[in-house]
Amino acid sequence: MTQPTDFTALQNDFGGPLRHERPDPPSLQSVIILLLAILSALMLGVSVWNLSADNPGAGTNLKIVLITCSAGLVAYMVNRFSIEKGAPLAALGFRMAGLISVGAILIVGAGMYLATFSGLIIKDIEYLRLERHGAALVEYAGARNKDSLASGRAGPAIRLVAADLNANAACEIRSSCISGTGDGGHGPVARLMEQLAARAQAIADQFDQGEAVREAALRSINQLAGEFQQRLNSDERNSAQRRNDLQLIHGKIGQGADALGEAVPVSLLKAYAEELKQGVSVPGNAQATSKLNAILRQHGTALSEILEGLGTDGAVLPEFPRKPGVADTLSYLSQFASIALVVLVTELVLPLTLWVFAYLKLYWKIETLGGMANENPPKPDPWDDNFAVHIPRQITNVRPPATTANRRGPGRPKKAR
């Protein structure tokens, strides 16, 4: 029958009883490094989710998980090795270790900062840019409408030209008041007057039609501007679809603004005013030419004064904003300073602070306790952030040399000689 093992008889190599030693608790520094890595990974996960929200699906979710876990692991390993290994070596005089560890923290922290900060605010930046674009569209439409309203003052002038030419043509037919020869009738001057009056009337009719088009285009632009703001403030989660809808409204506003500018033919009116100032020629009748040109130049000058400065506002349809990127987010640091500071502290400031304190603490120990290390070795403190690194001292736990008595083990009697 097998006897139970007596564990109390077991001894270690130094002759003492075996004891189960409790593992040292993790240092506060290690806990902080782990928590920093977890927080960095979570913030990066939210950032990548915002950046990939336009393409939902299993592939996108897998990508988010892989990037989050990989970045968190890299940040944890780099920070821990840099603080727990690089800082002690730098304090012992190994400068290359200090440069490499600090450089690694800066590179990884800067990358995590850029990726996290840009992803956290990219949706807000896109909203701000689209909101500004909507305001720019309204301003553009207002400028075009202002120009159209100003050109509307030419309406009474062109109608006055048509009415005056019709009246002079009727006077010429009735009593030859322009040509001064004969007692009326449809002579060359009368026919010329009728042609001039007909052209003025046609331009006046075209102007009236343009006024109706202008009012319809203005109503359409105002309605589209309201739809732009309404669509921008909608709860649509798919930002790509919302962006496409806003871009479609942008195109319609541009078409309406073009129609608004072309509704009133300012260029045509300017050309007609120059035509009136140039006058006409009545062959064989200098008196009729002089009287008729005086009437035409008077109307042409008045019309030119009204049209002066119209159509030169230079309003250009604003370009639809492109999707923001990482470089665009950096230009909004002042508006999102609180988020930027939180991410900066998490990714860069706190890891560098831990490295500096670890370096200074070990450097102080070396300077103050180095001379007494061999005589009075310090006892490792399990809560010491750098308890794995100690000042060189005499090694006391040396295994005793193998002797005959030690090889026999406990409880074996000596052989009699």
Q: Can you spell out the DSSP letters for 278-307?
A: H----TT-HHHHHHHHHHHHHHHHHHHHHH
The b-or-e profile of 381-406 (16+ CB within 10 A means b, else e) is eeebbbeebbbeeeeeeeeeeeeeee
Residue of 332, 356, 352 lying closest to 344 (CA atoms): 352
pLDDT at 7: 47
Q: In a 3-state reduction of DSSP, which class is residue 17?
A: strand
Strand locations in 234-382, DSSP E? none
Other C-beta atoms lying within 10 Å of the C-beta of residue 323: 13
Whose tokens are 């202008």? That residue is 214
pLDDT at 392: 43
**What dihedral do alpha carbons 160, 161, 166, 171 form, nearest 10°?**
100
Other C-beta atoms lying within 10 Å of the C-beta of residue 412: 9
pTM (predicted TM-score): 0.62
On whether the CB atoms of residues 154 and 299 are closer than 8 A, the answer is no
Query: Helix 286-307 vs helix 266-278: angle between axes, to the nearest 10 degrees?
Result: 150
Residue ranges for the chain with pLDDT beneath 50: 7, 10, 12, 14, 371, 373-374, 380-383, 385-412, 416-417
The torsion angles phi and psi of 263, rounded to 5 degrees, stand at -65, -45
Alpha-carbon distance of 130 to 247, in angstroms, equals 10
Please tell me the total number of residues recorded for the chain in this structure: 417
On whether the CB atoms of residues 125 and 328 are closer than 8 A, the answer is yes
Cβ-Cβ contacts under 8 Å for 304 (sequence gap 6 or more): 270, 273, 274, 277
Residue 189 identity (one-letter amino acid):
V
For the four alpha carbons of 39, 40, 41 and 42, in that order, the dihedral sign comes to positive
Alpha-carbon distance of 302 to 273, in angstroms, equals 8
Alpha-carbon distance of 318 to 329, in angstroms, equals 21
pLDDT at 226: 82
The torsion angles phi and psi of 17, rounded to 5 degrees, stand at -70, 150
pLDDT at 379: 52
Give 160's Cβ-side CA count (13 Å radius): 13
Residue of 202, 183, 194, 205 lying closest to 292 (CA atoms): 194
Residue of 362, 380, 379 lying closest to 370 (CA atoms): 362
pLDDT at 188: 83
Q: What are the tens digits of pLDDT across the range 347-392?
A: 999 999 999 999 998 888 887 775 454 455 555 444 454 444 444 4
Q: In a 3-state reduction of DSSP, which class is residue 83?
A: helix
Alpha-carbon distance of 133 to 225, in angstroms, equals 11
